[in-house]
């Protein structure tokens, strides 16, 4: 048997979804085949400090072990690196004084398990590109477009995908001309409507508003999290989700449905009360299911996706029309999350899904390595 594939797992992060990322990392690290892969942990704390450790000898027992807390690992002598030293295995190719190990690179492929800011928005992907390291998931452009709700919806519209109506503005525009913005929101969208930071996940900073005073307060709240705000029309709809997997020839899973425990699928409904229900497969007509799968692939291509994404839809109750809401380029990825469960229903196990994501990452890297960056290259 040849050398194991060295996979760097990056998790935690300077994000409101830090704890979610840790749970994802625990599930992934427990599911990999340790006979085929060598897993190297990279933890980023809430202040942005990096810590890396020796390859995991076995599936981790707890999140505390992944945080490198004293006494959490069975082997309390595990060596760790922090700060600049922790990131060296990733950027080794950028350092003139660093050679390659005799048995290959320090890391063969990075698997970012970061959700939200500084992980899902193209920033960490840009680091990997500069370092010349293969990585799982969407590239810089797709990650950034998938994080920015305004850019994403504009791309959907340009590609003929139906979306709910929306307006957007920056903090500067709000401070300069809020009366005009409020009037436009009331005329185009009406009440109720949703106010969201343009660049944030897990429904952080999102408000459902029913009148002018609530609208102004919701905008001020959203501006605490981003300089750009999007206001969307309310759609009375069922929430349908489809998982997408692939590079140039993506495939779509069976659709699923989220039945929220709250008035809408907010942070509490997603992560705290545990009362929201996933229906897999979604109980919708076959033709609607096929339309959702086709639209999911179109949305994936609209942002120039690669690796994976989850496409979220509104199925409007009044007329049964599907509207694309958003794509998530690093969806929840525990064994109990919608993305892997949809693939399980479609015939792909959690471990097989991990294998396929590694294969897709290496495939895309080889393709990019064949490109020329100048006439004399």
Q: What is the rounded distance in angstroms from the CA atom of residue 10 to the CA atom of residue 91?
A: 14
C-alpha closest to that of 322 among 261, 257, 259: 257
The residue assigned the tokens 């694309």 is 324
In terms of C-beta distances under 8 Å and separation of at least 24 residues, what long-range contacts does 58-62 make, across chains too? 58/34, 59/29, 59/30, 59/31, 59/32, 59/34, 60/26, 60/29, 60/30, 62/26
pLDDT for residue 262:
62
Q: Cite the residue boundaries of each domain of the chain with CATH code 3.30.1490.20.
A: 165-233
Q: What is the rounded distance in angstroms from the CA atom of residue 52 to the CA atom of residue 269?
A: 33
Q: What is the rounded distance in angstroms from the CA atom of residue 164 to the CA atom of residue 335?
A: 31
Bridge partners (DSSP) of residue 182 are none
Contact yes or no for 122/141 (Cβ under 8 A): yes
Q: Which residues, 6 or more positions from 11, have their beta carbon under 8 angstroms from its beta carbon?
A: 21, 22, 24, 25, 41, 42, 43, 44, 66, 113, 114
Assign domain 155-159+236-367 one CATH number from 3.30.470.20, 3.40.190.10, 1.10.3720.10, 3.40.50.620: 3.30.470.20
pLDDT in tens, the chain (377 residues): 578 999 999 999 988 789 989 999 999 999 999 999 999 999 999 999 999 989 999 999 999 999 987 655 555 445 566 655 667 777 765 554 444 455 567 899 999 999 888 889 999 999 999 999 999 999 999 999 999 999 999 999 999 999 999 999 999 999 999 999 999 999 999 999 999 999 876 677 899 999 999 999 999 999 999 999 999 999 999 999 999 999 999 999 999 999 976 665 555 545 444 567 999 999 999 999 999 999 999 999 999 999 999 999 999 999 999 999 999 999 989 999 999 999 999 999 999 999 999 999 999 999 998 887 777 75
β 228-233/166-170 pair status:
antiparallel
β 80-82/193-197 pair status:
unpaired
The residue assigned the tokens 């840009």 is 126
Whole-model pTM: value is 0.90
Assign domain 5-135 one CATH number from 2.60.120.200, 3.30.565.10, 3.40.50.20, 3.30.450.20: 3.40.50.20
C-alpha closest to that of 334 among 20, 109, 40, 120: 20
Q: How far apart are the first and last CA of the chain?
A: 36
C-alpha closest to that of 164 among 177, 153, 176, 148: 153
Domain boundaries 165-233, corresponding CATH code: 3.30.1490.20
Q: What are phi and psi of 239, to 5 degrees?
A: -105, 115
Q: Cite the residue boundaries of each domain of the chain with CATH code 3.40.50.20.
A: 5-135
The burial of 149, by beta-carbon neighbours within 10 Å (0-12 exposed, 13-18 middle, 19 or more buried), is given as buried
Q: Which residues, 6 or more positions from 177, have their beta carbon under 8 angstroms from its beta carbon?
A: none
The residue assigned the tokens 């496409």 is 311
273 phi-psi bin (left φ>0, alpha ψ -120 to 50, beta other): alpha
C-alpha closest to that of 246 among 151, 356, 83: 356
Q: What is the rounded distance in angstroms from the CA atom of residue 30 to the CA atom of residue 336?
A: 13
- DSSP-based three-state secondary structure for 14: coil
272 phi-psi bin (left φ>0, alpha ψ -120 to 50, beta other): alpha
DSSP 114: -
pLDDT for residue 201:
67
pLDDT for residue 117:
84
Contact yes or no for 189/167 (Cβ under 8 A): yes
Tally Cβ neighbours within 10 Å of residue 46: 12
């Amino acid at each position: 048997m040849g050398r194991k594939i060295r996979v760097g797992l990056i998790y935690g992060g300077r994000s409101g979804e830090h704890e979610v990322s840790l749970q994802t990392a625990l599930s992934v690290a427990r599911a990999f085949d340790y006979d085929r892969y060598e897993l190297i942990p990279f933890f980023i704390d809430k202040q942005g400090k990096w810590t890396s450790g020796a390859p995991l000898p076995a599936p981790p027992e707890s999140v505390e072990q992944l945080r490198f807390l004293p006494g959490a690992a069975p082997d309390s002598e595990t060596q760790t690196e922090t700060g600049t030293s922790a990131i060296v295995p990733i950027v080794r190719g950028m350092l003139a004084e660093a050679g390659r190990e005799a048995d290959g690179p320090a890391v063969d492929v990075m698997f970012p398990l970061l959700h939200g800011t500084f992980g899902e928005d193209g920033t960490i992907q840009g680091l990997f590109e500069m370092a010349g390291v293969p990585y799982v998931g969407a590239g810089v452009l797709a990650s950034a477009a998938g994080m920015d709700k305004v850019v994403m919806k504009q791309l959907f519209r340009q590609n003929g995908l139906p979306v709910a109506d929306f307006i957007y503005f920056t903090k500067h525009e709000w401070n300069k001309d809020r009366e005009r913005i409020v009037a436009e929101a009331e005329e185009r969208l009406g009440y109720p409507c949703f106010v969201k930071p343009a660049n944030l996940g897990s429904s952080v900073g999102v408000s459902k508003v029913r009148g002018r005073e609530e609208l102004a307060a919701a905008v001020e709240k959203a501006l605490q999290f981003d300089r750009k705000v999007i206001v969307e029309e309310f759609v009375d709809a069922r929430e349908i989700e489809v998982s997408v997997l692939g590079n140039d020839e993506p495939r779509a899973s069976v659709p699923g449905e989220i039945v929220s425990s709250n008035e809408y699928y907010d942070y509490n409904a997603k992560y705290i009360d545990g009362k929201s229900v996933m229906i897999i497969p979604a109980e919708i007509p076959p033709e609607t299911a096929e339309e959702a799968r086709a639209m999911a692939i179109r949305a994936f291509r609209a942002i120039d996706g690669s690796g994976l994404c989850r496409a979220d839809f509104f199925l409007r109750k009044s007329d049964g029309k599907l509207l694309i809401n958003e794509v998530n380029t690093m969806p929840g990825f525990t064994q109990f999350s919608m993305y892997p469960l949809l693939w399980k229903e479609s015939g792909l196990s959690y471990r097989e899904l991990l294998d396929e994501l590694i294969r897709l990452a290496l495939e895309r890297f080889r393709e990019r390595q064949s490109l020329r960056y100048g006439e004399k290259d």
